[in-house]
């Protein structure tokens, strides 16, 4: 496939699966052996296609008006990079947080590797940090020297604090 074909594939993925809420179409875009290398950042364990389906289902249930806007779509070789703006209104339980009715906006950069007409790998970088800065905060007795986390449990805990703060606007003092 050409780089233009790869970009068209990912453009259709975001439009069909997310914006049109057609989860059955995931199999048309992601290979059966798909691997999300950022699984722990997203609260997943294996990063396989079944977990992607579960995450999308949970996200759409919590944010029924979830919408991905493609800001940039760049391709080179077998890779496609998407810079996205994700918006939605928190109307259902998300990561254990009851609905708040708040509108959220998250920026996201995703890199996909394409093979044989399907995405086979991806890497995700969500910006969940803007509600507050984590540097110098304590979380579970651990003082954070930066927003970077190297331990999966700690990373998920930080993500939960960020999501909880973002959705409820309650300042969490993780001390």
Q: pLDDT tens digits for 83-107?
A: 999 999 989 987 777 888 888 888 8
Regarding whether 104 and 71 lie in a shared domain, the answer is: yes
DSSP 41: G
Distance CA 117, CA 48 (A): 18
Say what percent of the chain tops pLDDT 90.
45
What's the domain count of the chain? 2
Regarding whether 44 and 110 lie in a shared domain, the answer is: yes
Regarding whether 75 and 151 lie in a shared domain, the answer is: no
Regarding whether 50 and 82 lie in a shared domain, the answer is: yes
Are 163 and 97 within 8 A, CB to CB? yes
Regarding whether 114 and 30 lie in a shared domain, the answer is: yes
pLDDT band at 157 (very low <50, low <70, confident <90, very high): very low
First to last CA, the chain: 51
Mind listing the pLDDT tens digit for each residue in 129-156? 543 334 444 444 444 444 434 333 344 4
Cα–Cα separations (whole angstroms), residue 55 to 5, 36, 63 = 26, 12, 12
Domain that holds residue 139: 131-175
pTM value?
A: 0.73
Distance CA 80, CA 39 (A): 18
Regarding whether 160 and 123 lie in a shared domain, the answer is: no
Reported as type and span, the H/E element at residue 123 is: strand 118-127
């Amino acid at each position: 496939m050409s780089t233009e074909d790869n970009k068209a594939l990912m453009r259709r993925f975001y439009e069909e699966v997310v914006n049109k809420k057609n989860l059955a179409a995931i199999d048309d875009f992601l290979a059966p052996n798909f691997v999300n290398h950022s699984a722990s950042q997203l609260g997943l364990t294996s990063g396989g296609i079944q977990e992607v389906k579960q995450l999308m289902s949970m996200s759409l249930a919590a944010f029924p008006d979830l919408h991905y806007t493609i800001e940039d779509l760049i391709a080179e070789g077998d890779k496609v990079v998407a810079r996205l703006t994700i918006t939605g209104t928190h109307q259902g339980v998300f990561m254990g947080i009851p609905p708040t009715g708040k509108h959220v906006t998250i920026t996201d950069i995703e890199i996909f590797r394409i093979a044989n007409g399907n995405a086979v790998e991806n890497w995700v970088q969500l910006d969940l940090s803007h509600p507050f800065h984590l540097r110098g905060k304590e979380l579970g007795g651990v003082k954070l020297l930066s927003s970077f986390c190297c331990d999966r449990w700690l990373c998920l805990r930080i993500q939960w604090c960020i999501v909880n703060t973002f959705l409820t606007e309650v300042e969490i003092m993780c001390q």
